Structure formats: C-alpha cells, structure tokens
Chain A
Amino acid sequence: MTAPSTTAGLPRTATPATRPVIELRDVTKTYSSGSAAEVQALKGLSLSVGTGEYVAVVGASGSGKSTLMHIIGCLDTATSGTYLLAGENVGSLDEADLAEIRNERIGFVFQQFFLLASLTAWRNVELPLIYAGVPRRERQARTLAALERVGLADRVNHKPAQLSGGQQQRAAIARALVTEPDLILADEPTGNLDSSATEDILTLFDELIGQGSTVVVITHEAEVAARAHRTVRIKDGLIVPRHGDGGVTHMVGLTR
C-alpha cells in the first residue's frame, strides 16, 4: 500500500493569515493534583495561527506541547488568559458546547492513533459524523470521500488490528478530516511510525495544506518540523522567540 502520489507544485509558501483560526493570549495552565506540588505547564503563552497555515510545535519533553494542544483542541481549559477559536471565545463554554466545537471545528490525530478496536475503519471514520447527526446517505458519501483522500478506500472493512501502523494513522487522519474542520491538530502523529510510514503521513499533510486545511503538528522530529511553514519552539511553558525574525510569532498574535 503506497501513499497517494504527491501533487506537483507543493508546498505553497505560507500565505499571510487573513483570519486567525487560533488566537491565544497570555494563556496559563496550572496542574494541581491534590496534595502534590502544583505544576505550571504554560506560563502566559500567546500564539496566533491563521487559516491555511502549517505550523509545527517543537520543544523538549515536558515543555508543555501537549498541554498547549489540549487547550487548542478544547479538550482542556486554560487556567487564565483567553482563547479565541475562529473568533469565538471558548473559555466560557460548557462541556456540551465544547463537544460540538471539537466535533465541527477540530480534527484530532494522536500518537497512539486511538481507533476503536471493535469497529472497522469505516465505522471509525464515520463516528464524528454520527455525533454530528449527519443523515445516513450524506454520511456514507463523506466517509468514503475521507477514506479515499487518505488512500484507504480498499481497507474500509478492516479492523484496526488488521491494519499497519501507517494505515491506522491514515484512518485516524480520515476521521479527523471527515467533518471538514477548521483545524487539524496532530500530537506526535509519526511518533509510533517507521520512516516510510512517516513519509506517507507527511505527504498527506502536504496535500491537506494544498487543499486549504490548517494543520498544527506537535513533534520533536526535525524532519517533521521541516515540512511545516512555520516552527514554534516551546520551552518551559513559553514560546522561544526565533533568531532573525524574533517576535514574529508574537506579532501575528498581537497585530489586529
């Protein structure tokens, strides 16, 4: 099983964001697990990601990358600061509304794939549409389209255990993009894959960007980060300003 062929002329250069998808301002996150000492994972971080951008978040283990991604993905809420997702302040929303946002606007890709073992690739990909209440006929068309986009159209009835790691991750990506979200969030998506499967996934991301998706990928692999248009380095819960264009990251977030 080979990855779909790369479209010629990719990648496009990073276009200046017309409308930010993600806007984080002075976000902090403090974990306080009972009697144990408090851990401040994010210490007043600001970040802006525009529509169609391909951003890599890099940093040492424990620097706060996953914490950042959970907040961006509305899986967790910030301790302080504001977060606007496509212009909407999500800080004040309840769990039902957050579920709806995760369903409609965000597609998650995890290092461990997180496919449901008892369901076929088809059912796994269809799941977000079921929660969205999409009618059956439309659901089938969109599920098939998503599986075709990741090159798994001939594996729809396989269960995760019957798929290779790369195929499982492609199924997970199909699940992430089946709802046509504003944003695809990937936390170490190639962390469990060999180099050839990694290349498949990266090619897929390139294609998605070519088709107008916004992708934020967390990684500590240089080859993965190199494919992104922009790299954001995190250290101890804060973004490290880059040499040369130092402060640009912050500028994007602050210019209005």
Chain B
Amino acid sequence: MNWVEILRTAGASLVAHRLRSALTVLGILIGIAAVVLSVGLGLGSQQQVGAQISALGSNLLIVTPGSSTSTAGIRGGFGSASTLTVSDATALANRVAAPDIAAVAPEKDSSQTLAAGSTNWTTSVIGTTDSWLGVRSRTLADGDFFTATDVENASAVTVLGSATATELFGTTNAVGQTVTINSQPFTVVGVLASAGSNSTSNLDDEAVMPITALANDIAGGSTRNSVSTIYLKAASQQTLSAAYQEADALLLNLHRLSGSANADFTISSQNALLATVTSVSKTLTVLLAGIAALSLLVGGIGVMNIMLVSVTERTREIGLRKAIGAPPTAIRRQFLAEAIALGLTGGLLGALLGILGARLLPTLLSTTTPVIVSAPVVIGAVAVSMIIGLIFGVYPATRAARMAPIDALRTE
C-alpha cells in the first residue's frame, strides 16, 4: 500500500467523522495559536524594550560615583559621596588619553523650582556641557542648544524639556522667555523634542543648562565641582569595550586607586542593561510559551483519545481490512496517518490563527507592543503539531494493528 492510498484512506475516514475530527483539530489549533502568539508577544516586547533602551543613547557608557564610605570607613567624610568631578570629565574627553571615547557629557543634578511670571514648576535641573545633546541622542524641537562658549562663560541660559516648557508657558513659545531659578534669571534658548520616559524619570520634564552656570548660581559651595554622572559615548558598538577599558584605567589613575576592586566609581553600559531586560523578557516568553505548550499537550491527549475511540468503534472495519489482506503495518500506517493529519491540520490552522491574531492583538489590547510572528516559530509550531499527532497516534495505531482479525470481525 503506497502513501497516496494511505493518505486517501485516512482523509476519507476523517471526513466521514467530520464533527469529531473538527473538534480534535480545534484542540491542537488553540494550542498552536497560543504558542505562536505568546512567543510573538515575548519577541515583540523584547524588541520594544531593546528599542527603548537604545533610544536613550547608543554606544553609551555611564559612569556613576561609587559608595561614599568603605566598610573600613577610611574614605568616608567630606565630599566622598561625589567622587566624580568636572575634571574627571575633562580628562576623559582627552582624545589622546582616551582615543576610543568620542564624546563626554557630565551631569550635575539639582531639583529646583522654576518660575515664569505667575507660574512655577519644580523639576530636575541638569548642568552639563554642550556635547550632552549628541551623547544622550536628543534633538531639539525649537531654538538652539547652548554652546561651548556658554559653558566657559557660565551663561545664564537653559534648554527646557517639552513637558516643562508646556507647564511653564502653555502654548506660548518658550524660546526667548525668561525663567527664574534660585532668584537668578535664565534665558530659555531651546526646547527639547519629546523622548518619552525611561524606567526612572520623565525625559521630557527637565531643564538643561551649562554646568558652570549651575555650579555658580544654583548648586555651588563645597560640591561645586562634583558631578552625579558622566556619560561617555564610544565611536561605535565595536569600540565600546575599548572605551570602557580606557575610562576605567584613566579614572583609577586620576583617583589614585590601585585596582578595579576598590574603585570609587561604577561604569555600566546600555548593553548590560539591555542584557538584563532581555533576559527578564526571555524568561517571561519561556513561561508564556510553556503554558501554551501545556495546552498543546492537552490537544495531543485529545488526539489520542479520539483515535482510541475511533479504533474501538472501527474494530469491525479493521477486522474486515485484515480479512481481505491488510498487513499490520498497513493498518498501523492508516491510523498514524489519521492522527498526523489531525495534528497537521490543527497546526496549520493554528499558525494561521496565530498570524491573524498577531495583527489584531495589539489593537485589541490597545498596546504598542508588537507581536512578532517569525517564520522559524511558525514552521516549528507546525512541525510540533505533526509530531504530536505522530506521538499520540502511535499507541492507538499499534492497538489497531495488533488486533486479531477474527476477534475484530466478530465484534458487534
């Protein structure tokens, strides 16, 4: 008996029991659709988070001060909480000492109340240099960013986040207006384009100004030279690790420290953050897919159940087929083919439903997270559905093949 005849026979008997076949297929269909969707959702959120993180600035290294006090208490005391200084940033910007660091932007933060006319608004004021815009991958919606000359001269100018500008000036153009911070007037020279928010802060609610102006007019005193973060930009993804080495060596030397073990700063990269978030979302994907796979298993048991019912119900047919010369292998193949056909049909329809669902789901849940349906996942899911048919079909098919022809014929 060749495969054409086996498939024809299997097809005929599945069609003969349409409703039962359809319900069995439904079990597999739901399982496969669930797998395709959950994996797609996982991949989608992974991609989305990845995109959000790289939007914060690509090829970025972030230097933050280490703990202010060691366990021995030796380095505790005055100014120890701010181990990073403006001169550190200047040193890092030296293209000879650190050739792989393309740009440097120190940040000094201070929470201040901004006043404009009768309105006021409390936000985070960031003191930095003119390279900030490029290092943080930001763009301007209006006006200009402050220049190197502004930093040198500690000019009383500021660039506002889009939300901050709206809070203070409403629909009026903010550029050219004056805001008062710590009783000092600052001229608004630009407004940043919206960048959304990351996990910790609203990137649209801030006021950026020359670090010198912040030190002189607002956050002076003993900590005037300290900075809270230094952002380093490597020339490319490939030079990121070289840039890391250079920054580490340079800062250890500047701080007169013998090795990384007692460093009073931390250098982290977007990659590390990306890896963490990716691994979290991978775990989630695996969990979701696991639940979906469980439903697939239930679908598989459904196939087995129906095949067992079918074998019992068709005992006489099996007996007759054997009487007219069907060998055990032909009977086994016939029932296996039926089980595989059930699985495969469920798999194909499930994949189709998954692909359709992937398009509709974001709209239905009104999220921006895309559901990514990739070819390997679809092909894999369909293959799995076939294998499920095969695995859960083996036992019923073997049972049918082993029936003694005479007992099968005699069954009522």
Contacts and interface: CB of A to CB of B under 8 A. Distances in A.
Task: Say whether A associates with B.
Answer: yes
Given A118-B16, A119-B12, A133-B1, A99 B328 contact: yes
Interface in B167-189: none
A104 B16 CA distance: 29
Contact of B325 (A116, A119, A132): A132
A131 B325 contact: yes
Interface residues of B, number: 23
B141 interface: no
A118 B1 contact: no
A130 B328 contact: no
A131 B326 contact: yes
Contacts of A245: none
Contact of A75 (B1, B2, B326, B406): B406
B321 interface: yes
B134 interface: no
Nearest to A96: B327
Interface in B190-230: none
A102 interface: yes
Interface string B1-35: 11001000000110010000000000000000000
Prevailing SS type, chain B contact patch: helix
A33 to B, nearest CB: 11
B324 A103 contact: yes
B361 interface: no
B370 interface: no
Contacts of A133: 1-2
B327 A114 contact: no
Interface in B247-272: none
Interface string A52-91: 0000000000000000001001011000000000000000
Prevailing SS type, chain A contact patch: helix
Interface residues of A, number: 25
Contacts of A138: none
A175 B323 CA distance: 11
B323 A75 contact: yes
Given A130-B1, A133-B2, A114 B325 contact: no
Contact of B323 (A73, A95, A132): A73
A166 interface: no
Contact of A108 (B1, B317, B324): B324
Given A118-B12, A133-B2, A96 B328 contact: yes
A133 B405 CA distance: 20
A119 B328 CA distance: 21
A221 interface: no
A100 B328 contact: no
22 contacts: A73-B323, A75-B406, A76-B405, A95-B327, A96-B327, A96-B328, A99-B325, A99-B326, A99-B327, A100-B327, A102-B322, A102-B324, A102-B405, A103-B324, A108-B323, A114-B320, A116-B317, A128-B325, A131-B1, A131-B321, A131-B326, A131-B330
Interface of B: 1-2, 5, 12-13, 16, 316-317, 320-330, 404-406, 409
When A and B form their complex, which 8 residue pairs have the shortest distance between CB atoms, in order from nearest?
A103-B325, A99-B327, A118-B16, A75-B406, A131-B325, A128-B324, A76-B406, A114-B320
